[in-house]
Amino acid sequence: MPDRIRIATRESALALWQANHVKSLLEVAHPGLLVVITGMTTEGDRNKRSPLSQIGGKGVFVKELETALLEDRADIAVHSMKDVPSELPPGLQITAICEREDPTDALVSNQFQTLQALPAQASVGSSSLRRRLQLQLARPDLSYRELRGNVDTRLRKLDEGLYDAIILASAGLKRLQLSSRISQRIAAEVSIPAAGQGAVGIESRSDDGEVNLLLDSVNHQPSYDCVSCEREVSAGLGANCNLPIAAYAELQADKMRLRAYVSDETGKKFIRLSSAGTRDNGTEMARNLVAELLSRGADKLIQAR
């Protein structure tokens, strides 16, 4: 077994929290293991002005980390799973997923406690088309605007009065000890989360057997099963960050519920479906749900972009 693990991570506060969390889990599971964190800046970090859809989708947050893996400059890469494209480069795999944090979207506002309490034409900031279009169904009278940057930047823009409310991931706020900023956790019935939201994943080389064996000790199987099903939906629809697609799986004992949403870019045409089954049948359930979405015209909504 290796006595040293090199972690590649983005350098944002949240990404470093995630990398240090994985470091701690590995050190507890493998006493004496030296875990080294290497911070990297991705294209998604460098370009904070352009919408993600214009600079390559969510893959812009992981490409440099994956290159470090493929060039053997790192042994593992730690990601927020919602940023990981459904298709990985050849030779890489998601080997472990840590226990998932709260997967919901969060409304953050200094004046209003709920989405319904916002006055007509209030400005709501979010970088996610998935979030904006789903919230638009509940509150079509609000003004939804693009908002990029790390968590601190987005909160600062809210505090400066540039927005009446912003939408962030509940998990990120909780991990950064900012739970007090959450005005409302938005239920999945209103906004289905992105595939993998709230989950920290560990990517490694497929042929690195020793490292992959070490990672077994930090894998949380229920979270892995749920996120895998969600990513199966994303993969089946050819999803990336340019598309308003959501997939969310929940486990209760051995029962799994899977919800999915797909929309055109306006949000006026959309499909929202759910299915239920057993945990050990999750992959088949996800594929059946994809087939149902496609039979109802999901491919036409996606191609309309």
Residue-wise pLDDT tens digits, 34-56 = 999 999 876 555 445 544 444 34
Residues of the chain with CATH 3.30.160.40: 220-305
d(CA 216, CA 26): 10
pLDDT for position 238 = 83
Catalytic residue list:
83
pLDDT for position 57 = 47
Count Cβ atoms within 10 A of the Cβ of residue 120 and give its class: 0-12 exposed, 13-18 middle, 19 or more buried. exposed
243, two tokens: 């598309």
281, two tokens: 């049948």
pLDDT for position 305 = 58
| One-letter identity of residue 107 | L
Fold of the CATH domain 105-186: D-Maltodextrin-Binding Protein; domain 2 (3.40.190)
Residue-wise pLDDT tens digits, 153-171 = 999 999 999 999 999 999 9
Helix then strand count (H, E) for the chain reads 11, 13
Count Cβ atoms within 10 A of the Cβ of residue 117 and give its class: 0-12 exposed, 13-18 middle, 19 or more buried. middle
pTM for the complete prediction? 0.90
Cα dihedral across residues 112, 116, 117, 123: positive or negative: positive
Fold of the CATH domain 4-98+199-219: D-Maltodextrin-Binding Protein; domain 2 (3.40.190)
Per-residue pLDDT of the chain (305 residues; tens, 9 = 90+): 789 999 999 998 999 999 999 999 999 999 999 999 999 876 555 445 544 444 344 556 788 999 999 999 999 999 999 989 989 999 999 999 999 999 999 999 999 999 999 999 999 999 899 999 999 999 999 999 999 888 999 999 999 999 999 999 999 999 999 999 999 999 999 999 999 999 999 999 999 999 999 999 999 999 999 999 999 999 999 865 567 999 999 999 999 999 999 999 899 999 999 999 999 999 999 999 999 999 999 999 988 65
Q: Is 220-305 assigned to CATH 3.30.160.40?
A: yes
Asked if residues 83 and 61 have their Cβ atoms less than 8 Å apart, the reply is: yes
Closest alpha carbon to 89 in 71, 66, 55, 68: 66
Residues of the chain with CATH 3.40.190.10: 4-98+199-219, 105-186
- In degrees and rounded to multiples of 5, residue 10 shows phi and psi of -65, 165
